[in-house]
Amino acid sequence: VNNRNEELDFLGELTNLRQLDIGSCNFDFDGVPPVIGKLTKLESLDISYTLMFGPIRGEAFANLTNLTYIEMGGNSYNDSIPSELASLPLLANLYCEDAFLSGDVSFMTQMPAIFEMWVDDNPDLGGSIPTEIGTLSTLQSLSLSSCAITGVLPTELGDMEFMQQMWYAY
């Protein structure tokens, strides 16, 4: 298990990096490595299926204001999506399926540019779909299958003129 930041310091030196894909490479770490936060020009990040476990540290995402795409599924976070990640101004694509997410989906209302969000197969991710979903004018694809979503679908979904596809099954 790679728990020491000094073993990952080299990542912080790649300050001009725009895309980082370490998905499926067994790069295990306790949570999301905070050193990723130094990659302020990063636009695309794939940390899926890397054996990461533990908290999704918000500080790892706070400075990634150019990030438009993140794939982080297939890990064991046992945590909720932090506001630092959800509120990134350009984040359009969030894929976090089968990642042991917990909490509720209210984080989605903080996502100003979200286009596609797939958080399938997270049985501890629950609550109801917030009525504010109707204000997410850029959201076109949403997948909440095999989560613990409760309640009725909000009528505000009908206000989403650009919604193309939605998966909601348990």
Give the pLDDT confidence of 41-97 residue by residue, as tens digits: 999 999 999 888 899 999 999 999 999 999 999 999 999 999 999 999 999 999 999
* Residue whose tokens read 């599924």: 73
| pLDDT band, very low/low/confident/very high, at 1 (cuts 50, 70, 90) | very low
Residue 107 has pLDDT above 70, yes or no: yes
Own/partner contacts of 152-160, CB < 8 Å, gap of 24 or more, are: 152/128, 153/129, 154/128, 154/129, 154/130, 155/131, 156/131, 156/132, 157/129, 157/133, 158/134, 159/134, 160/133, 160/134, 160/136
pTM of the model: 0.92
Based on DSSP, count helices (H) and strands (E) in the chain, helices before strands. 2, 10
Residue 163 has pLDDT above 70, yes or no: yes
- Decide: helix, strand or coil at residue 17: coil
What average pLDDT does the chain have? 91
Residue 121 has pLDDT above 70, yes or no: yes
Give 29's DSSP letter: B
Give the pLDDT confidence score for residue 26 in this predicted structure.
Answer: 74
Give the pLDDT confidence score for residue 16 in this predicted structure.
Answer: 95
Within 10 angstroms of residue 45's Cβ, the number of other Cβ atoms is 24
Do the beta carbons of residue 123 and residue 146 sit within 8 Å? yes
Give the pLDDT confidence score for residue 7 in this predicted structure.
Answer: 66
